[in-house]
Amino acid sequence: MRVPAHSVCTAIRDDIVAGVHERGARLAEEVLARRYGVSRVPVREALRTLEAEGFVVTRRHAGACVAEPTGQEAADLLEMRLLLEPLGAARAAQRRTEAHLKVLRGLVRLGRERADSGGEELRSLAAWFHETLAQACGSPALTAVLTQLRYKIAWMYGVPDPADPVEAWDEHGAIVDAVARGDAERARALTALHTERVTAAQRVRAPKRPVNTSGVRH
């Protein structure tokens, strides 16, 4: 496939999350350049970015490889999300724009309409919802951290379908209502409850695919 040079990082990250590039696999620049239809320069830049994000590590004699997170690292990401997503929602209640609200309300409407369909479309709508909510917080640094958390948790745990999609989208709708009213504390509380519910489901599943256990604390 051919992707624009500025999108190479996103394409490689998406393939890592999807398992196309398996954990521990070597990421040879020339092979990636052929796969994505670009020169080695944007590939090299993308690998540097992905190393900074924690998706890639550089190993002696092997070069860039897909990271192999430990079980403890995976669990820590869930704890971080429990703390940061409610903060992002509270900030969104204080800083959101009308454009953010329009998108969030539209996503809630679509999610409710298609709650019975399940599958990839509903997961994509939910991801778009949380991405927009993160952007609405008005802090590029917090938005970037929340985005990385979402990608890494999807990579390590997968994205489970909610047990009750209608209830999940009702929760999304309540969060948007609080954000629209500028009620930061209610937005924080509702998002905390929603995040706890999602996190509990992912903890039950445990990290997908084997992880490096060398750093796990007992």
Q: For residue range 51-97, what is the model confidence (pLDDT) as tens digits?
A: 999 999 999 888 999 999 999 999 999 999 999 999 999 999 999 99
Question: Which runs of consecutive H residues, i.e. helices, occur in 19-69?
Answer: 29-36, 40-53
Please check the confidence at residue 116 and state whether its pLDDT lies above 90: no
pLDDT band at 207 (very low <50, low <70, confident <90, very high): low
Taking residue 51's Cβ as centre, other Cβ atoms within 10 Å add up to: 16
Single-letter amino acid code for the residue at 51: E
Beta bridge partners of 56: 66
Identify the CA nearest to 69 among candidates 130, 146, 78, 29.
78
pLDDT at 155 (0 to 100):
93
Q: What is the mean pLDDT of residues 94-123?
A: 92
pLDDT at 206 (0 to 100):
56
Pick the CATH number of 71-205 from 1.20.120.530, 3.30.70.1400, 3.40.50.2000, 3.40.50.12170: 1.20.120.530
Please check the confidence at residue 1 and state whether its pLDDT lies above 50: yes
- Are 57 and 65 contacting, i.e. CB atoms less than 8 angstroms apart? yes
Residues 6+ apart with CB under 8 A from 128: 107
Please check the confidence at residue 2 and state whether its pLDDT lies above 80: no
Who has greater pLDDT, 3 or 189? 189
Residues 6+ apart with CB under 8 A from 36: 1, 2, 3, 8, 11, 12, 43
Who has greater pLDDT, 93 or 207? 93
**Two domains, one topology: 5-66 and 71-205:** no
pLDDT band at 200 (very low <50, low <70, confident <90, very high): confident
Place of tokens 């496939």: 1
- Are 82 and 140 contacting, i.e. CB atoms less than 8 angstroms apart? no
Query: What is the domain class of 5-66 according to CATH?
Result: mainly alpha
Full-model pTM: 0.84
Mean pLDDT taken over the chain: 90
Query: Domains of the chain: which residue ranges?
Result: 5-66, 71-205
Query: From residue 8, how far is each of 5, 30, 146 by CA, in Å?
Result: 5, 13, 21
pLDDT at 213 (0 to 100):
41
**Span 65-75, pLDDT tens digits:** 999 999 999 99
Tell me how far apart the alpha carbons of residues 84 and 35 are, in angstroms, rounded to a whole number. Answer: 35
